[in-house]
Amino acid sequence: MQNTLRVAVAAASMLALGAGSAAAQVSDDVVRIGVLADMSGIYNDLSGKGAVEAVKMAAEDFGGNVLGKKIDVIFADHLNKPDVGAAKAREWFDTGGVDLINDLANSGVARAVAAVAKEKKRHIIVNGASNMGITNELCSPYAIHYAYDAYSLAHGTGKAVVEQGGKSWFFLTVDFAFGIGLEQQVSDVVRANKGRVVGAARHPLATTDFSSYILQAQASKAEIIGVASTGADAVNAIKAAAEFGATKNQKLAALLLWIEDVHSLGLQTAQGLMLTNAWYWDMNDETRKFAKRFYDRVGKMPNMAQAADYSSTMFYLNAVKAAGTDNADKVSAKMREMTVSDMFTKSGKVRVDGRFMHDMYLWQVKSPAESKAAWDYLKPVATIPAEQAFQPLADSKCDLVKK
Amino acid sequence: MEIFGIPHQAFLGQIMLGLVNGAFYAVLSLGLAIIFGLLRIVNFAHGAFFMVGAFVAFLIGRDLGIGYWPAMILVPLIVGFLGVVFERVALRRIYRLDPLYGLLLTFGMVLVLEGGFRVAMGSSGQRFATPEALRGVWNLGFMILPIYRAFVILVAVVVCAGTWIVIEKTRMGAYLRAATERPELTQAFGINVPVLLTLTYGAGVALAGFAGVLAAPIQQVSPSMGSDLVIIVFAIVVIGGLGSVFGSAITGLGLGVIEGLTKVYYSEASTTVVFLVMALVLLLRPAGLFGREEG
Amino acid sequence: MVALLLSPAIKRSLLALLLAALVAVPFVPEIIYPIFVMKVMCFVLFACAFNLLLGHTGIVSFGHAAFFGSSAYITGYALRDMGLSTEIAILAGVLFSALLGAVFGVLAIRRQGIYLAMITLALAQMVYFTFLQAPFTGAEDGMQPIPRGKLLGLIDMNSDLSLYFLVLASTCGGLWLIHRIVNSPFGEVLRAIREHEPRARSLGYAVNRYKIMAFALSAGLSGLAGSLKCVVFRLASLTDVHWHLSGDVILMTLLGGMNSVFGPAIGAIIISALRHYFDALGAWVTVAVGLIFIACVLLFRRGVLGEIDHLLATRFASRRIVKEQKNAQI
């Protein structure tokens, strides 16, 4: 009797031990990646289905398994509302078994989710949003800002325009974290180059009629109208500027344009605009190969965020494999040791504040005559080395940075 | 030259754009006021029918190749028909109840229409080209005015005047006025009031659909385009005086201008100024600017 | 009411069962997500508080999101920027919204019906604008992250478990208060105003004062719901003050049944569950909610609880006669 009890206890504890060690490897036997994207709103084209497909492609290319456990990709629509995004992230982390949230287009949503991730100690990778808070006041060992940010846009397009002689600026700014953050960054660059900012008009997200804002911009007599919005907002603002004759005496600087925005503006309207992108589908054979596969699945060319969704998901999965576990702290440490060399970047590395360091590129939109094929829109102007493209570590307000 | 520290170009320009917005408000509030006058229903679905109008114009253009000009006639007919069906099937069952139920019923309709179009067409906006004949701009000196916007103001004034003539000078209009004042008595004179109610609702939402066609080239066509508009138009009708048809049309234009002026001085408040005016009017002159106090 | 047809003993045991189930929730997160339950409780409280005005006083407010949302913002401000303890932050929110409710009341009750509703809408839009512009709210980004603080400076609310019981206790307390208000002499006067205002006035009641009180109470309790939601999600956003929410709460109330104390609770549960569990269907949920709305207005104006009651009542018509006079409220 005694013996059987002892055997039973031993067996039970061995079982428990076994279960324990398995749990330490991969929690609930699956590595789950949640894509939190704008599936229906104005950033749908930039993130949406393309983002989900990019992450799925990465999971498939990785073999569908990591450490012998299935990789599961789920997605949800944040509706561009920070409260919706944060509640979804909380639920995913609490009960959905989600290990990583990717994409996060919309800066307001990204900020809200970054706070949740920090609280819950789970990973997020921000590709769709630009807000500097991710690597500053909201930074954590679990957040990586991967594709681009407001600083890099300001030091790309913003700086290039100032250097071409655009000294006085008026901003058309979308009224939330993204627009305001971008306006601040570009204003800093303008002032640092002895230019001045004469004013700004703030408009709500998804504005369709820009006429009165364009009028304010015209009345300001600024040389440059800085469009601190993106997606449909930027497209509408640029069109309204052309319609109301603002482009005759003033120049436009679109601070964040995507390949899709150029596509919907048309080259006739968009030609000559400068844009800062981390990636373009027509850079080399590797990018073209990825773009073709993506095109076959989604029906359009990938943009820099979607390419980054793919690249960063691969990066995360490689880190899980190298760490031998999906434990957030161990994966985090691994991600900060490893370098990335793939079709997105040749030498990418995560800095302590969560900034993923890689080169950025300044592009110019081709004229209709220069464009040879569908989606042949951009020509390279300059490469911005990582150290110049991103905020110096010394300026970061992140409390992980030792000063 | 400056007006209160603002260059007069910007000042006049914003008033001009205010008139364009006011033109939409006028056409929309006209329909809303006609409906309230006769049916005593606060038609929350007005903005949704406005959106449906824009979508119908977009869809018949894309799929049937029907252009802008025929759409100006066709769309109000289609939207008006939808309104007639809605009135027959649902609205008429609640006339005897508290007006609150009308508000709630039409609010339900808003959700159905907006949700339905979101499912079918997605949330992002669809572009609608300005008709060929109205492209180009006029240089007014103080601003560059796209011809289409001037056209919108003109059409709105014509539509409002036309509606006024119909109501004041035709037999149909006389019935309408009679039924608004004394429904039972009008019925006793052998006029079919239920049919009149149906037609009035149809005509009211047809106006909303018409405004939708007008708006399509300026705004993008999207399921939410009428959602915030409706409460502004509400406020306008209340300011004008519920049921006072011309009061609301004039108030619509006027508030467009007030909004434009607000944009000059305090741009962020431009969407709220309407409600400020409404609260003040309701507290100081409860029947609205053009309304009569009811017993 | 349903409960009226049941004996007090059954009623009490049903209530105890429900309470026991709610207490068990945080221990079985696999079955139901506790944070979702907390959210539902907030909306239950909100809808029941709203119904103090709609169902019990006969006043339609189209601006109740203003109370829910401002309380959330005030609580958020107290927790994040002033570092106060949780209960004081919540109290601050509740007091603010009760005060705001009184102000709304003073202005709105000068008119009746639709006009009154329009005044509340106008005022709520101004509140919305204030929070959109105020520097501390983060405008479109929402106010976040808000620390949950410590209850009485002792109990850390970061634990979902402790928080759950705070929300549960507050909701039960709020509902109990509503129940007491409705069944008090004060509640009787409110109903008298709803049924026949001139008569209530001629009987010597200071009708306006009662209406303003009702506004303040309803607003304060709505504010409690808003504050709790803010603490749960560590975030206050413009969604909480947007007029869509004012429309939502009317829907919940109507759906559940506005002639009872706890009917709106059922409406709140149904709508929240619909939104939560059918989330993936996207806009179809909006369509469904719209259809429910239409069906409610056309076919089930008594609401879910009211219809069940009606059904039972006609079946037990004979038994009901005795209780006819008490029919008023449960």
* A49 C-beta neighbours (distance < 10 Å), count: 18
pLDDT of residue C329: 45
Taking contacts as CB-CB distances below 8 angstroms, the residues of chain C near A40 are 282-283
For residue C110, the chain B residue with the least C-alpha distance is B283
The shortest CB-CB distance from A219 to any of B10, B118, B219 is to: B10
ipTM summary value: 0.85
- Regarding beta strands A274-277 and A251-254, do their DSSP bridges make them parallel or antiparallel, or are they unpaired? unpaired
Taking contacts as CB-CB distances below 8 angstroms, the residues of chain B near C117 are 100, 103
The whole-angstrom separation of Cα C73 and Cα C90 is: 10
Tell me the fold of A28-148+283-358: Rossmann fold (3.40.50)
Q: What digits encode the pLDDT tens for the residues B10-29?
A: 788 889 999 999 999 999 99
- Reported as a pLDDT band with limits 50, 70 and 90, residue B258 is very high
Check whether A14 has a pLDDT greater than 50. Answer: no
pLDDT of residue A20: 40
Residue C249, class by beta-carbon neighbours within 10 Å (0-12 exposed, 13-18 middle, 19+ buried)? buried
Beta sheet of A123-126, edge-to-edge order: A65-66, A69-77, A30-37, A98-103, A123-126, A143-145
Across the interface, do C118 and B269 touch by the CB < 8 Å criterion? no
The shortest CB-CB distance from A41 to any of B123, B143, B218 is to: B123
- Which of residues C186 and A9 earns the better pLDDT score? C186
H/E stretch holding B6 reads: strand B6-7
Across the interface, do B10 and A218 touch by the CB < 8 Å criterion? yes
User: What is Dmax (Cα atoms) for chain B?
Assistant: 64
Q: Residue B133 falls within a domain, yes or no?
A: no
Tell me the fold of C2-327: ABC transporter involved in vitamin B12 uptake, BtuC (1.10.3470)
Q: Residue B90 falls within a domain, yes or no?
A: yes
Q: Residue B182 falls within a domain, yes or no?
A: yes
Provide φ and ψ at B45, rounded to 5°: -80, 5
Give the distance, in angstroms, between the CA of residue C267 and the centroid of all CA atoms in the same chain: 11
pLDDT of residue B175: 87
Check whether A319 has a pLDDT greater than 60. Answer: yes
The whole-angstrom separation of Cα A132 and Cα A149 is: 6
Check whether A53 has a pLDDT greater than 90. Answer: yes
For residue C126, the chain B residue with the least C-alpha distance is B272
Beta bridge partners of A126: A145
Stretch A214-242: mean pLDDT? 91
Taking contacts as CB-CB distances below 8 angstroms, the residues of chain B near C109 are none
pLDDT of residue A13: 47
Note whether A236 contacts B: Cβ–Cβ < 8 A.
yes
Check whether B3 has a pLDDT greater than 80. Answer: no
pLDDT of residue C317: 62
Across the interface, do A211 and B17 touch by the CB < 8 Å criterion? yes
Q: How far is A87 from chain C (nearest CA, A)?
A: 7
Q: Of C229, C273, C214, C213, whose CA–CA distance to C69 is shortest? A: C229
Domain A28-148+283-358 and domain A151-277+361-388 have a common topology = yes
pLDDT of residue A1: 45
**Sequence spans of domains, chain A:** 28-148+283-358, 151-277+361-388
- Regarding beta strands A69-77 and A123-126, do their DSSP bridges make them parallel or antiparallel, or are they unpaired? unpaired
Taking contacts as CB-CB distances below 8 angstroms, the residues of chain A near B3 are none
Tally of domains within chain B: 1
Across the interface, do A243 and B122 touch by the CB < 8 Å criterion? no
- Write the CATH number for B266: 1.10.3470
- Regarding beta strands A143-145 and A98-103, do their DSSP bridges make them parallel or antiparallel, or are they unpaired? unpaired
Stretch B135-157: mean pLDDT? 89
Q: Which domain holds residue B169?
A: 2-122+145-284
Opening angle at CA B118, ends B113 and B121, nearest 5: 115
Q: How far is B118 from chain A (nearest CA, A)?
A: 9
- Regarding beta strands A251-254 and A356-357, do their DSSP bridges make them parallel or antiparallel, or are they unpaired? unpaired
Q: How far is C278 from chain A (nearest CA, A)?
A: 12
Taking contacts as CB-CB distances below 8 angstroms, the residues of chain B near C283 are 114-116, 118-119, 123, 223
The whole-angstrom separation of Cα C44 and Cα C222 is: 10
Q: Which chains touch B (3 or more CB pairs under 8 A)?
A: A, C
First to last CA, chain A: 65
What CATH class is the domain A151-277+361-388?
alpha beta
Beta bridge partners of A70: A30, A65
Across the interface, do B275 and C133 touch by the CB < 8 Å criterion? no
The 3 state secondary structure assigned to chain A is CHHHHHHHHHHHHHHHHHHHHHHHHCHHHEEEEEEEECCCCCCCCCCHHHHHHHHHHHHHHCCCEECCEEEEEEEEECCCCHHHHHHHHHHHHHHCCEEEEEECCCHHHHHHHHHHHHHHCCEEEECCCCCHHHHCCCCCCCEEECCCCHHHHHHHHHHHHHHCCCCEEEEEEECCHHHHHHHHHHHHHHHHCCCEEEEEEEECCCCCCCHHHHHHHHHHCCCEEEEECCCHHHHHHHHHHHHCCHHHHCEEEECCCCHHHHHHHCHHHHCCCEEEECCCCCCCHHHHHHHHHHHHHHCCCCCHHHHHHHHHHHHHHHHHHHHCCCCHHHHHHHHCCCEECCCCCCCEEECCCCEEECCEEEEEECCCCCCCCCCCCEEEEEEECHHHHCCCHHHCCCCCCCC
- Reported as a pLDDT band with limits 50, 70 and 90, residue A3 is low
- Reported as a pLDDT band with limits 50, 70 and 90, residue A204 is confident
Q: What digits encode the pLDDT tens for the residues A114-142?
A: 999 999 999 999 999 999 999 999 999 99
- Which of residues A145 and C282 earns the better pLDDT score? A145
Stretch A139-164: mean pLDDT? 92
Across the interface, do A177 and C36 touch by the CB < 8 Å criterion? no
The whole-angstrom separation of Cα A192 and Cα A338 is: 35
Note whether A40 contacts C: Cβ–Cβ < 8 A.
yes
Note whether A86 contacts C: Cβ–Cβ < 8 A.
yes
Taking contacts as CB-CB distances below 8 angstroms, the residues of chain A near C239 are 81, 83-84
Check whether A168 has a pLDDT greater than 60. Answer: yes
For residue C133, the chain A residue with the least C-alpha distance is A175
Q: Residue B130 falls within a domain, yes or no?
A: no
The whole-angstrom separation of Cα A88 and Cα A103 is: 14
Q: Which chains touch A (3 or more CB pairs under 8 A)?
A: B, C
pLDDT of residue C319: 53
Check whether A7 has a pLDDT greater than 90. Answer: no
Stretch B75-86: mean pLDDT? 97
Q: Fill in the amino acid letter for C43.
A: F
Across the interface, do B124 and A44 touch by the CB < 8 Å criterion? yes
Note whether B100 contacts C: Cβ–Cβ < 8 A.
yes
pLDDT of residue C125: 93
The whole-angstrom separation of Cα C62 and Cα C54 is: 10
pLDDT of residue A361: 94
Q: Residue B98 falls within a domain, yes or no?
A: yes
Note whether B212 contacts A: Cβ–Cβ < 8 A.
no
Full-prediction pTM beyond 0.90? no
Structure tokens that stand for A230 in this block? 């993106």
Note whether B234 contacts C: Cβ–Cβ < 8 A.
yes
Angle between helices C65-80 and C86-108 (to 10 degrees): 150
Taking contacts as CB-CB distances below 8 angstroms, the residues of chain C near B235 are 118, 121-122
Across the interface, do B275 and C126 touch by the CB < 8 Å criterion? yes
Taking contacts as CB-CB distances below 8 angstroms, the residues of chain B near C287 are 111-112, 115-116, 119
Check whether A17 has a pLDDT greater than 50. Answer: no
Across the interface, do C122 and B283 touch by the CB < 8 Å criterion? no
Along the 330 residues of chain C, how does pLDDT read in single tens digits?
444 556 677 878 888 999 999 998 888 887 889 999 999 999 999 999 999 999 999 999 999 999 999 999 999 999 999 999 999 999 999 999 999 999 999 999 988 888 898 899 999 999 999 999 888 888 788 888 888 888 888 888 888 899 999 999 999 999 999 999 999 999 999 999 999 999 999 998 999 999 999 999 999 999 999 999 999 999 999 999 999 899 999 989 988 888 888 899 999 999 999 888 887 787 888 899 899 889 988 988 888 888 887 887 777 665 545 455 455 444
Q: How far is B108 from chain C (nearest CA, A)?
A: 4
